[in-house]
Amino acid sequence: MRNQLNHIAVIMDGNGRWAKLNNKTRLEGHSKGVSSVRKIIQKSIELKIDYLSLYAFSNDNWNRPKIEINGLMGLFSQTIEKEFNAFMDNDIKVSFIGDLSRFPKALRKLIDKTVQDTYNNCTLNLNIALGYSGRMEILESTKQVVNKVISGNLGVDNIDESVFSDNLYYSDLPDPDLLIRTGGENRISDFMLWQIAYCEIFFIKKHWPDFNEQDFLDIIDEFDKRERRYGRLGEQVK
C-alpha cells in the first residue's frame, strides 16, 4: 500500500434502520450487526491491520428506550462470552474505552476478565468503545493534566499534544488512519474527536448489518488512493 494503514476505526451505524426495513425488531438488527463485526475482525487479521476500534455504544445511547438498552446489555454479554475462544484462537487483544460505571456489574466483570485474559495477545488489537464520548474523554484528559500541574508534577510550559494524549482513555492507542461510518449519516457523533484530526473519513450508505468484506476492501482501496499531506503541499509527498 502507498498509505500506511495501522488503525481503522468504525462507527457501526444503521442496525435499527436495517431492522425496520426488514420487518425485524431493533434488537434483531443489533444481533445481525454482530455478524458484520466478525467478518471485519477476520478481514483485519488477514490484512495484518494492527488496531481496529469499534464504536459499539455511545454515552448518549443511554437516552434510548430502556427495553432496547436492556437488550443491548444482554447482547454485549452474550457476544463477549461467545467470542472469547475466537479472541484467544486468533491472538486478539481486547480493550475497552469509555465510562463503564453505568453498565451492569456482571458485564463489567466479564469485560475485566476478557481484557486480562487477552492482554498478551498481539495479532490484532481490538478496541471497543462502550459508554464512550469523545468530548468526555477530552474533558477527563484535561482534568488529569490540570491535577498534575496543581500537584507540581507537571509544568504548564511542558504541556503539549503528547502529554495530553498520554492522559486519554487508552494512551497507547495510535491515532486512526481511516474512519468508516455506515448507515448513511454524515457525522462523527462524538467519536474519537481528538484522535481523528488527520484521519481519512468514509461515509457509507449501507447499514451495518449489510456491510461485508468486499465493502471493507473497496474502502481500503480508495483510502490507498488518497493523498495524505498532513499540511504539506502535494508535491512534497510525492
Instruction: Judge whether 208 and 18 are in contact, CB under 8 Å.
Output: yes
Q: Which of 172, 176, 124 is nearest to 3 (CA)?
A: 176
Separation between Cα atoms, residue 122 and residue 159, nearest integer Å: 31
Separation between Cα atoms, residue 12 and residue 182, nearest integer Å: 6
User: How many other β-carbons are positioned within 10 Å of the β-carbon of residue 90?
Assistant: 15
Extract the C-alpha cell encoding 140: 477527563
Dihedral sign (CA 126, 202, 196, 107): negative
Distance of CA 137 to CAs 11, 60, 183, 212, Å?
A: 17, 14, 25, 30
Instruction: Judge whether 194 and 165 are in contact, CB under 8 Å.
Output: yes
Among all residues, which ones are annotated catalytic? 13, 61
